[in-house]
């Protein structure tokens, strides 16, 4: 909170009894909690690995430790679980951070990453790649291109009427999403029902089941660059969450800043869709939870949304592979959990306003 | 204009006197001209009140002065930096007073920048100036309308503006808060040498705070002059389209007059 920084030069501040040191402790605890969730998730599954053993296996990659575990435990942890759990964490972080930024710059708490057309565009690119090439790398590449193409299209559609930019942008997002959804249906229609159709359908449902280190690498790059850029814009995003004209009167280039943020959002979201398919609801629900904990200031809201999103998606992904003998696509679970949680949030906000919560 | 304006004690930014002038400005919504060929000039130390009935284009003029309303014709010249106080600040998210005021520093903070020490100093100074220091960590939604208005002014001041433009600043305030507001506006003009421009539909506000009044009679007709000269029974009756009488308070009340519909 910027209130805390003012405490440095002596002005009394009631919300900052913790001070900078306390803030550091809080963030360290949050990061430690995420690490705990990740380790627990790595241990859990059809082939159960005790948590101590999982930690030892992970540490043995960094420092020499005498192995006391079976080779199969080691390969489950390092080849299957680790890339999967880390992919879920990065995807959750990207979705949480982009969600809170979109809600900020559209000044609308009901907006999520799916609203700006990127998810639909990336879905079409990925589905087309599965149909035509059938290779994982092509899927990732075309999903990226599709997602970025969608945001460019949204940009040009929203320029039709420049008087009400926010309204036109959301409208353009809806229109572009609808167009790409129709194209996805077309791809499904012409796909081979015995081969590529199921692949497309399962990919679109959203899943981390076939996570590899190659995909993890791509997701790391898109998440670090995308959310890093968004975090560095935190002050501008605060200002953008005021009214359009007020922002303009403060002498900053509203349009340019907004599109820079949207470009970063598109980059991060396209990376998630490319690797894991369309995982919905995370970017819509997580920022609300983060806002009730740290308040609306994006300096803390963006990292908090990223941390909570990461923990949440790792937990849901672990449930998706352990709840039933047959894995449930994670996108289905996030929607099943997200929808009712969102109704609860709506009820709370309806009575208390879009505030800091408690 | 020479309306008994008191020479400001300081002249703001390094001796350069702030000034706003519009030359033959026309603003259109679609094909309809909201107003046309409007000219005016306000210098540091002066307070201008823009008067007109509802819907005459006061807000549009205010936005044109701020520079966030495109001009169909004419020129806008500004010497100094403009701080804008909109009629109401509706924030979707519940920021604290300090966070809101800090946003006024936006023009001094780079695209990827964070507030620095001098930004915090400017925010603290603006909060103290408007007696808001005790409210600094409260959230905006817990404040009264009058307090919120002061926060918005503090936000403009935090940006180190020397031209303050306010849209209907007193419309939601009770009498005491109106007094507080107008005292601050006069002080900013007289002590700090700022240009202060505000719009209102209440002539009494102009008597209370302004040196100069701009009357927007119609889309093409304006009257601008010293408050005492230009705000008369005749001009106000014409402006509001209903009989109006100016009543001056008796006794030792400087700047106390009201216009009443009769």
Say what the pLDDT of residue A19 is: 67
**Alpha-carbon distance A21 to nearest alpha carbon in chain B (angstroms):** 18
Picking from A5, A15, A249, the nearest residue to B68 by CB comes out as A249
What confidence score (pLDDT) does residue B10 get?
53
* Host domain of residue A115: 83-352
Fold classification of B1-81+162-175+190-231 is Rossmann fold (3.40.50)
Burial string for A257-290 (b: 16+ CB within 10 Å, else e) reads bbbbbbbbbbbbbbbbbbbbbbbbbbbbbbbbbb
Nearest to A14 among B91, B121, B137 (CB): B137
Q: Which two tokens stand for residue A149?
A: 């193409």
A17 CB neighbours in chain B (<8 A) are none
- For position A245, what pLDDT does the model report? 81
A9 at B interface, C-beta within 8 A: yes
Name which of A242, A299, A356 is nearest B91 (Cβ-Cβ).
Answer: A242
At B67 the pLDDT is 92
The C-alpha R_g of chain A, in whole angstroms, comes to: 21
User: Quick check: A296 and B93 CB within 8 A?
Assistant: yes
- The verdict on a CB contact (< 8 Å) between A236 and B111 is yes
Q: Is residue A63 part of a domain?
A: no
B32-43 and B19-29 beta bridge pairing: antiparallel
pLDDT tens for A104-124 read: 988 887 788 888 889 999 999
What local confidence, expressed as pLDDT, does residue A358 receive? 34
Q: Is B233 exposed, middle or buried (0-12, 13-18, 19+ CB in 10 A)?
A: middle
Q: Are residues A117 and A173 in contact, defined by beta-carbon separation less than 8 angstroms?
A: yes
- Domain harbouring A281, CATH code: 1.10.3470.10
Whole-number Å distance between alpha carbons of B105 and B84: 13
- pLDDT score recorded for residue B171: 85
Specify the pLDDT at position A202: 87
Q: Do B106 and A297 touch (CB under 8 A)?
A: no
Facing residue for B84 by CB, picked from A108, A246, A296: A246
Interface with A, mutate which of B29, B84, B85, B92 (most A CBs under 10 A) = B92
Position A36 in a domain? no
Residue A194 resides in a domain: yes
Contacts of A355 in chain B (CB under 8 A): 93-94, 139, 141
The total number of structural domains that make up chain A: 1
How are beta strands B73-79 and B19-29 bridged, if at all?
A: antiparallel
**Could you say which residues of chain B have pLDDT below 50?**
11-13
pLDDT score at A11 = 40
Residue with tokens 């309204």: A167
- As a whole number of angstroms, the distance between CA B200 and CA A44 comes to 67
CB contact under 8 A, B98 and A2: yes
* A3–B106 C-beta distance less than 8 A: no
Structure tokens at A258: 């907004």
Q: What is the ipTM, given to two decimal places?
A: 0.86
Domain assignments of chain B as residue spans, ordered by start? 1-81+162-175+190-231, 92-161
Q: What are φ and ψ of residue A342, in 5° steps? A: -65, -35
Closest by Cα among B9, B61, B62 to B35: B61
Under an 8 A CB cutoff, do B89 and A242 touch?
yes
Check residue B39 and give its pLDDT: 94
Residues B129-156 pLDDT 10s: 999 999 999 998 899 888 999 999 999 9
Which residues from chain A sit within 8 angstroms of residue B94, using beta carbons? Answer: 295-296, 353-356
Nearest-CA residue of chain A relative to B70? A163
Distance of CA A335 to the CA centre of its chain: 14
In a domain, A106, yes or no: yes
pLDDT below 50 — which residues of chain A? 1-17, 355-358
Distance from CA of B187 to the nearest CA of A (A): 23
B86, B99, B104 ranked by CB distance to A2: nearest: B99
Instruction: Write out residues 91-120 of A within 8 Å (CB-CB) of B.
Output: 104, 107-109
Query: Is the minimum CB–CB distance between A4 and chain B shorter than 8 Å?
Result: no
Residues A94-105 as b/e (b if ≥16 CB within 10 A, e otherwise) read: bbbbbbbbbbbb
Q: Hey, CA dihedral for A293, A297, A303, A308, is it positive or negative?
A: positive
Q: For residue B193, how many other CB atoms are within 10 A of its CB?
A: 23
pLDDT number for residue A2: 42
On whether any CB of chain B is under 8 Å from the CB of A71, the answer is no
* DSSP codes of every residue in B18-75: PEEEEEEEEEEETTEEEEEEEEEEEETT-EEEEE--TTSSHHHHHHHHHT-S--SEEE
- Residue among B63, B106, B139 minimizing CB distance to A356: B139
């Amino acid at each position: 909170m910027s209130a805390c920084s003012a405490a440095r030069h002596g002005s009394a501040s009631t919300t900052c009894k913790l001070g900078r040191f306390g803030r550091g402790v809080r963030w360290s605890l949050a990061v430690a909690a995420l690490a705990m969730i990740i380790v627990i998730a790595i241990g859990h599954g059809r082939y159960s690995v005790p948590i101590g053993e999982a930690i030892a296996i992970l540490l043995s990659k960094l420092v020499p430790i005498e192995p006391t575990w079976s080779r199969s435990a080691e390969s489950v942890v390092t080849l299957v679980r680790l890339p999967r759990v880390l992919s879920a964490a990065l995807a959750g972080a990207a979705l949480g951070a982009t969600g809170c930024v979109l809600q900020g710059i559209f000044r609308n708490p009901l907006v999520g990453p799916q609203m700006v057309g990127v998810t639909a565009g990336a879905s079409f690119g990925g589905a087309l790649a599965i149909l035509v090439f059938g290779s994982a790398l092509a899927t990732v590449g075309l999903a990226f291109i599709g997602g970025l193409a969608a945001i460019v299209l949204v940009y040009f559609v929203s320029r039709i009427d420049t008087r009400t930019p926010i309204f036109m942008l959301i409208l353009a997002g809806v229109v572009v999403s609808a167009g790409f959804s129709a194209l996805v249906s077309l791809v499904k229609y012409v796909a081979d029902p015995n081969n590529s159709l199921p692949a497309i359908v399962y990919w679109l449902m959203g899943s981390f089941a076939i996570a590899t280190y190659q995909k993890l690498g791509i997701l790391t790059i898109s998440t670090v660059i995308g959310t890093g850029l968004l975090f560095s814009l935190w002050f501008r995003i605060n200002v953008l969450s005021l009214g359009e004209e007020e922002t303009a009167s403060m002498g900053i280039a509203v349009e340019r800043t907004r599109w820079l943020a949207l470009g970063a959002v598109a980059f991060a979201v396209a990376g998630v869709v490319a690797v894991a398919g369309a995982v919905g609801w995370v970017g819509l629900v997580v920022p609300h939870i983060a806002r009730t904990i740290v308040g609306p200031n994006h300096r803390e809201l963006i990292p908090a949304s990223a941390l909570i999103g990461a923990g949440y998606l790792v937990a849901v992904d672990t449930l998706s592979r352990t709840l039933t003998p047959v894995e449930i696509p994670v996108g289905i679970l996030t929607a099943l959990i997200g929808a009712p949680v969102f109704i609860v949030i709506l009820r709370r906000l309806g009575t208390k306003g879009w505030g800091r919560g408690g | 204009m020479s309306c008994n304006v008191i020479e400001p004690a300081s002249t703001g930014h390094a001796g350069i006197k702030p000034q706003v002038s519009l030359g033959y400005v026309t603003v259109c919504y679609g094909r309809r001209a909201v107003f046309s060929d409007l000219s005016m000039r306000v210098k540091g130390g002066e307070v201008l009140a823009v008067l007109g009935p509802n819907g005459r284009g006061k807000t549009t003029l205010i936005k044109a002065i701020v520079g966030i309303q495109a001009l169909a014709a004419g020129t806008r010249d500004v010497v100094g930096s403009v701080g804008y106080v909109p009629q109401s600040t509706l924030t979707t998210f519940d920021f604290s007073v300090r966070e809101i005021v800090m946003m006024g520093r936006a023009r001094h903070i780079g695209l990827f920048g964070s507030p620095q020490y001098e930004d915090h100093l400017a925010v603290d100074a603006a909060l103290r100036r408007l007696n808001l220091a005790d409210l600094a960590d409260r959230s905006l939604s817990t404040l009264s309308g009058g307090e919120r208005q002061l926060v918005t002014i503090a936000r403009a001041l935090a940006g180190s503006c020397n031209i303050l433009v306010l849209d209907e600043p007193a419309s939601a305030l009770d009498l005491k808060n109106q007094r507080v507001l107008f005292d601050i506006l006069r002080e900013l003009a007289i002590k700090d040498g700022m240009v202060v421009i505000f719009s209102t539909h209440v002539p009494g506000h102009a008597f209370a705070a302004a040196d100069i009044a701009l009357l927007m009679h119609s889309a093409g007709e304006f009257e601008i002059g010293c408050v005492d000269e230009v705000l008369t029974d005749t001009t106000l009756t014409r402006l509001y389209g209903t009989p109006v009488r100016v009543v001056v308070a008796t006794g030792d009340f400087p700047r106390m007059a009201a216009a009443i519909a009769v």
